[in-house]
Amino acid sequence: MSLLKLEALSKKFGDHWALKEIDFSIAEGEIVGLVGPNGAGKTTLFNLITCRHRPTSGRVLFANKETTLCQPHEIQKLGISRTFQSSRPFAKMSALDNVVVGRVFGGHFHLFAQSTDIDSARQLLELVGLAHKEQTPAGDLTLSEQRRLDLARALATQPRLLLLDEVVAGFSPAAVKQAVDLVRRVRQRGVTLFIIDHFLSLSLRVSDRLLALDHGEKVAEGRPQEVMRNRGVIRAYLGTRHEDESHGE
């Protein structure tokens, strides 16, 4: 049974089709990579799923419930959380408070944070390797630390589906390796993952399946190795001149 289902999802900005008739579904427990060159429509797809934008046509179903026209905070309550391409920390608040916000508002609201909220926020900071920075204002963290904080905050809301937008962009190879471990540990918590990964450094290693987009259209989906051999994907990434060379990366 699919957890997330996209039915003929389209989005038009002005005269430009950012996404065209995307059909796709993700099963509970899967890790799916969303790949494609700049402007392929990856972030637009995330914005439609999280209801930041309204689709021009088509539907989004989450856990068999239509969510196409929900509000962003409602979609979170149903169990979808996300991180952002350029991370969006609550800059003047401590790293710990950032995660506590996710914990408190992702669940049922209560007026005062309980020690369990703070303990679980601490555990998540530990998970993403920021335990020693808990009192640091989030705005003072490095870019990679802010990305990990974004992840901890999103996890704190206890999502069923987590959308990661370019979580390793600009990471060193060593940091990407850590991120691979991290994503696997997140999956062990029972979270389904949908990962935007322009440079494929993460998704090729962790994904069960890939969805490849180009110019708003689905060019391929399937197991990572199959998708990477797909001519449309190679063309999208490398252009036609290199089409004769059989593999891309």
Evaluated on CA atoms 28, 8, 212, 81, the torsion sign reads: negative
Tell me the closest approach of the beta carbon of residue 156 to other proteins, in angstroms.
Answer: 8
- Indicate the residue among 50 and 67 with the shorter CB distance to other proteins: 50
- Indicate the residue among 109 and 244 with the shorter CB distance to other proteins: 109
**Beta strand 217-222 with 209-214: parallel, antiparallel or unpaired?**
antiparallel
- Indicate the residue among 127 and 131 with the shorter CB distance to other proteins: 131
In degrees and rounded to multiples of 5, residue 115 shows phi and psi of -65, -25
- Indicate the residue among 55 and 79 with the shorter CB distance to other proteins: 79
Tell me the closest approach of the beta carbon of residue 113 to other proteins, in angstroms.
Answer: 5
Retrieve residue 61's tokens. 């179903």
The contact set with other proteins (CB under 8 A) reads 50, 52, 71-73, 76-77, 81-82, 84, 88-94, 96-97, 100-102, 104-106, 109-113, 118, 132, 134-135, 137, 140, 150, 153-154, 156-157
Buried b (16+ CB within 10 A) or exposed e, 221-230: beebeebbeb
- Indicate the residue among 84 and 237 with the shorter CB distance to other proteins: 84
Tell me the closest approach of the beta carbon of residue 38 to other proteins, in angstroms.
Answer: 21
Which DSSP helix (H) or strand (E) runs through 203?
helix 203-206
Give the end-to-end CA distance of the chain in Å, rounded to a whole number. 33
Tell me the closest approach of the beta carbon of residue 223 to other proteins, in angstroms.
Answer: 31
